[in-house]
Amino acid sequence: MAAVVDIAVAVLLAIGSLFYVVGAVGLVRMPDVFTRLHAASVMETLGAGSLLLGMMIAGGWSLDTAKLAIILGILLYTGPIATHALARAALTAGVEPILAEDRTKPRKTNKTRKTKKGGKSSKR
Amino acid sequence: MMFAVAAVAILAALALATARALLGPTVFDRALAGNSIGTGAILLLAVFGFMTGRPEFLDIGILYALLNVIGTLAVLKFFRYGDLSHAGEEPAD
């Protein structure tokens, strides 16, 4: 039984670490803000969820498991809120997403896509 | 051992998120990277507590999780309206 718990913890921690590093690589490699939000949400749901679930199984029935469940609940509740607020704030501030038709042209680096202050801020 | 591997993975992810926070062309990239760094700090606290057999760090993790989203929203509101006491109507630009 202890071996089963150890294997489950190791598998969950490995999955969580993998998704966490993959999400962080996506955070660096993706071309604009909105696709980076997509990569960061992978980190916050699958990566953090698997890591915390693995630690909950390792902790057994104790107070630590309850605290980890509280952390998981807070992360799963507030992560989409922060992501949604970021996407909406970026859109109202005038950051334009890179669309599919932009990618047929030679791609510009994202250094040319600065925030236009007050450009579209009155448009919902 | 498994917790050490997870801690190294989280540290690598934190380094990449810090790179995005330094490079990010817009303020939203930096706010997103700050949010990810906060989440990584929570996970690193939990993993480090389990690794050293002192899970008391989880309380600090709960506090960071509660502060993280409020910090992100405060930064976004500050960069939209210019101050934090704004009531929330359209900006007068």
CB contact under 8 A, B19 and A16: no
Interface ipTM? 0.84
Residue B17 CA to residue A24 CA, distance in Å, equals 6
CB contact under 8 A, B10 and A75: no
Return the closest-CA partner of residue B17 out of A48, A70, A91, A74.
A48
| Min Cα–Cα distance to chain A from B12, Å | 7
- Residue A72 confidence (pLDDT) above 90: yes
CB contact under 8 A, B13 and A24: yes
Q: Which residue has the tokens 């810090």?
A: B18
The two tokens of residue A17 are 């670490």
Instruction: State pTM to two decimals.
Output: 0.81
Name the percent of chain A lying above pLDDT 70. 81
pLDDT of residue B79: 82
| Min Cα–Cα distance to chain A from B13, Å | 5
Chain A: residue whose CA lies nearest to B12:
A21
pLDDT tens digits along A16-44? 999 999 999 999 998 888 999 999 988 88
- Please give the single-letter amino acid code of residue B66: L
CA angle A9, A15, A20 (to 5 degrees): 120
